[in-house]
Structure 1
């Protein structure tokens, strides 16, 4: 009875309570937001699947002796997992022989169970730095290309370089040279440069780079931060450059900045001592040059490769093993070791030991390997054999492209 009176006295309030409670009881819970699976990064997954020797191997590009696959290079590929090969003039006799050598290297890498195809490279600039087999036409020097001041012609030269490289199976060209030749007494650059002004080198060099790239060949711009005003050949000694940052930004950096803005995939760093930037270490081993300037100021996020670590400039500073560790800590992704098996083994050993000891953080190695994988995949590199192209037809096309009429 008491409850009934409470109901009658508070009918409106109770009805409100009933409605509210009823609403709460009959209201359907709002559907949960769908659970989104984190996006899988296939490159990161591949890097994580690799052993330390596989990762270190990917960061080393080596040369070989002879004109065919022999035990030392066989071991470097099958056992040390090296990720790249550089061919020099002594490795190249003819188009047929070069094509067979390239395909044999690819086959060896494939049968060894490598997770990634090989970078197979050479220095094919034109002029006095030409490695292509004798069956191909003679390519003009960069100076001769620059003299035309014809950017379209520079693109045609680059495209022809890429075609010739591809015909024998090479997939990486250490060209173009983006040094500004401001020192007429320079013993190593000279006619390898497009010219003596930053503007001319930028316009011609970038177009040649894009031409090489158009044929699916990886161009490597060099020699950062600028080898044009040196009086010592870094093959034999350590060049010293005294320019400050203001001068470098207005001259030497200009072509590299332009190439990076146009998508340069790889930059080669020189063995030159930049006194005003880092008086203690050559550019190839300097964090100030690679990390702060190339990656930081110029915003380059591609692959950084050192010049050949067996060059005399490196030996003037320290042994090749510690030098390679310095280069990786400075920001280099690829260490180029063009000659001498014991030197190549020393680099592989030094890098492995440095990671195991904690001197090189694992994260540094993983970032470099990530960039290397991304590069190889973006250019669709493959270890499938490359059939030798129709040289007669190709040469006719190249000669026509190289025939510049002013």
Structure 2
């Protein structure tokens, strides 16, 4: 009987425990509870913000869903123009091919008023589209100065010699105001290449200096202050063009450096720029055999996605340097190169010369989707980044008035007088 009483008591305890566990009430605390686990301390750092607000992302997603494949592909092209005024070919590129951006060179820009008329006409043709144009130029200062009617800004090399962040920031702000005054909204500058090869035929005084520290310090100030004017800076030429001995306009440079080598020098200014909020990066046409034996950097998944996206964490818009340069067209068809570049992870291909090249690129990208070489989802990834960039900078296709450059030239003169080393 005593054993039976003990078994009944044990069963009673088990039943009570089971019923307590099934109820919505808190269980009774044990006699010797474990010490409470302290709550984690509240972080003093704010939670990370997404790259765009949720509502904005949803709106962009809706816009992409309404776009045709042709409209999406058009957004991934920045095209060159001919002459100093808008032509029927330009109208066709914008109205029929939906090209998302235009690049101007010095031979397109005869005087400030004509630049504004040209830009305004392109904007007017784009009015029927929901996405504004990128109107771009290389306006670095020094020998790479395309815009007319403006006093010459010092070279990047001279700015590096000043080694004055305030001065670099003022130059960046002036560059932004120069473009803004003529109705343009994207500048392929600053150059973040380190000038570490005296035989380099293409960079030289376009670089802020021969060390990562000076290039990072001066280049990022130029980028940040230009950005504040509402003009999009494009830092270039990733992974680094400073140690080349071949001009990529003419042929393909080859650099025998490992990823470790690049990490210790060439990458540093780009990594710093990304940390400071760079929105767009241009990739160079250079072969790095230790990283990719087959493809130059602008067509290389190992460089564009493996390094720039994955290793450096860049989430913005990636552009190629001009795909009509000798480094590319001497080895690839323009259509083939554009498909390879998008496969590598590029968002925008730059086709700076000849309308027929734009035709070939569009045809090649469309065919690549049709045959499964590229998925439309891959196209959508790039279009999303492009639309986010245009939205972030509040781009519009509104016309502007011809500028009076008197005050801007006075500002240039004052900056040079203030900061130039006597």
Distance apart, 1:402 and its partner CA:
3.4
The equivalent residue for 1:205 is: 219
Q: Distance in 2 between matches of 1:214 and 1:227?
A: 27
Q: 5 Å matches for 1:6-405?
A: 41-110=58-127, 113-133=128-148, 135-403=149-417, 404-405=419-420
The Cα offsets for residues 297-347 of structure 1, whole Å up to 9 and x where unpaired, read as 100000000000000000232111011000001000000000011111111
TM-score (norm 2): 0.85
Q: Distance in 2 between matches of 1:115 and 1:381?
A: 11
Q: Distance in 1 between matches of 2:190 and 2:116?
A: 23
* 2:291 and 2:303 in contact (8 A); partners too: yes
- Secondary structure of the residue aligned to 1:182 is coil
TM-score (norm 1): 0.89
Q: Distance in 2 between matches of 1:400 and 1:52?
A: 49
Distance apart, 1:394 and its partner CA:
2.4
Distance apart, 1:376 and its partner CA:
0.4
- Secondary structure of the residue aligned to 1:41 is helix
* 2:162 and 2:420 in contact (8 A); partners too: no
* 1:67 and 1:93 in contact (8 A); partners too: yes
Q: Distance in 2 between matches of 1:164 and 1:400?
A: 15
Q: Distance in 1 between matches of 2:413 and 2:326?
A: 37
Distance apart, 1:71 and its partner CA:
1.4
* 1:156 and 1:402 in contact (8 A); partners too: no
Tell which deviates more after alignment, 145-154 or 392-401: 392-401
Distance apart, 1:405 and its partner CA:
4.4
- Secondary structure of the residue aligned to 1:62 is strand
Any unmatched runs of 5+ in structure 2? 1-53
Question: What's the RMSD between the two structures over aligned residues?
Answer: 1.1
* 1:321 and 1:346 in contact (8 A); partners too: yes
